[in-house]
Amino acid sequence: MKSVRFHRFGGPEVLEIEEVPEPRPGPGQIRIAVRAAGVNPIDWKKRQGLMGGKPPQSLGQDAAGVVDQVGRGVVDVSVGARVFGFSATSSAQSELTIMSEYEPMPPSLSFEDAAALPTAIETAARALDETGVEKGTVVLVNGASGGVGSSSVQLAVARGAHVIGIASPANHDYLRSLQAEPVAYGEGLVDRVRALAPEGVDVALDLAGNGVIPDLIELAGGTERVLTIADYEQARKYGVTFSDGKGGRAVHILGEIGELIEDGRFALPVARTFPLSDVAEAHRTSEQGHVRGKLVLLVR
C-alpha cells in the first residue's frame, strides 16, 4: 500500500510516498481503507524533528474511511461501515490504517469533512474538560478562528458558556456566526476584553501560542484558570496548565459530535483538499498558518 513517509528530518521536500506492507488489526482494532486524512501542525512538527523519535516515520492522526478488516473482539462495527477517528499507528496519510478509537461517521458528512474532525474536536473538548467549562462560564479563546479554536468556541457555546474570541478582524464576522463575541489581537487586548467582561473571565484558553499568556492570567485572575496547548515555554515560566493529552484524551467527543452536527450546532469547514500526491504542498500550507478550517488529504 502507499503511505507518506520521511527518512530524514527537514522541510516538505523530505516527504515521500512509499510502498509499505499492509497493516493488520490486532485485538480490539479495525483496519480502514482510508478515503481522507486530516493535516495538522503535529505532522510538520514531527517531520521537522520537533516531536522526538527517529526516522523513518509515517504521518497522520485523523482518518475517515471504510472498515475492511476487524480484529478479534470487535463487535461494535462491521466490514463496510463508514467510520472516522484516530490512526493507532500515526499513519493516517496512507491507503490503509489501523484504528482503536473510532465512531460511525455522522450521516451528513463526506469523508473529507469527517477526516477534519478528530484532532480538532478532541483538543478542544480536552481544553474545556480540563478547565471545567460549563453553563454560565465566561470563556476567553485566544486563536478562536482556527480549527481547534472554532471547535472550542462551538463546543463551549453548546455547553451554555459565554465565549469571547480573540482573532484577526477579518475573522470577526465568522466568530459572530458561531455566537462568540470577537476582539482583536494586539496592544490594548486586556482593555478590549474588559469592555465585554468587566469582571474578567472565568477561563482563558491559549490556542495560538503568540505570547499573550500574561494578559490571559490578568483577565482570568490567576494561573489556575489559564490553559495553553501552544506555548510550552510560557506555560512553564508562568505556571499555567500545558495540555498535551498525556494526562488523558477527550475521545468521548468522537461519539458526541454527531448529534451536534446533525442539529446544526457544530461545523468545521474544510479550507482546502489535496490529493495524497500533493502532501508536501499541504504541509507548506499548514506551516504558513492563517487557515480558517482544516486541510485534508484525499487518499482514494
Name the β-bridge partners of 66. 33, 82
Same domain, 158 and 218: yes
Query: Does residue 17 form part of some domain?
Result: yes
Cβ proximity of 83 and 65 under 8 Å: yes
Give pLDDT, residue 245.
Answer: 85
Q: Detail the DSSP E strand segments found in the chain.
A: 2-6, 15-19, 30-39, 57-58, 62-70, 82-87, 96-104, 138-142, 162-166, 181-183, 203-206, 226-228, 241-242, 270-275, 294-298
- The Cβ-side half-sphere exposure at 44, using a 13 Å CA radius, reads 18
Q: In what order do the strands lie in the sheet with 15-19?
A: 15-19, 2-6, 57-58
**Structural domain boundaries enclosing 88:** 2-117+268-298
127 and 235 both lie in a single domain: yes
Q: Given this model, what pLDDT does residue 290 score? A: 67
Residues 95 and 168 in one domain: no
DSSP H helices in 197-267: 213-220, 232-238, 252-262
Are residues 148 and 210 both part of a single domain? yes
CATH code of the domain containing 12: 3.90.180.10
Residues whose CB is less than 8 angstroms from the CB of residue 196 and which lie 6 or more positions away in sequence, other chains included: 164, 181, 183
Q: CB within 8 A of 149, min separation 6: which ones?
A: 141, 143, 165, 167, 207, 208
Question: What is the predicted pLDDT for the residue at 138?
Answer: 97
pTM for the model stands at 0.94
Q: Are residues 55 and 99 in the same domain?
A: yes
Question: Does residue 258 sit within a domain?
Answer: no
The total domain count for the chain is 2
Residue 257 maps to a domain: no
On whether both 226 and 132 belong to a single domain, the answer is yes
User: Is 253 part of a structural domain of the chain?
Assistant: no
Same domain, 86 and 193: no
Q: Is 154 a domain residue?
A: yes
Mean pLDDT of each 10-residue bin along the chain, 300 residues long: 96 95 97 97 90 91 97 95 96 97 96 97 96 97 92 97 96 96 94 94 94 95 94 92 89 96 94 95 86 87
Is 256 domain-assigned? no
What pLDDT is recorded for position 273? 96
Decide which of 226, 242, 258 is a domain's last residue: 242
pLDDT at 246: 84
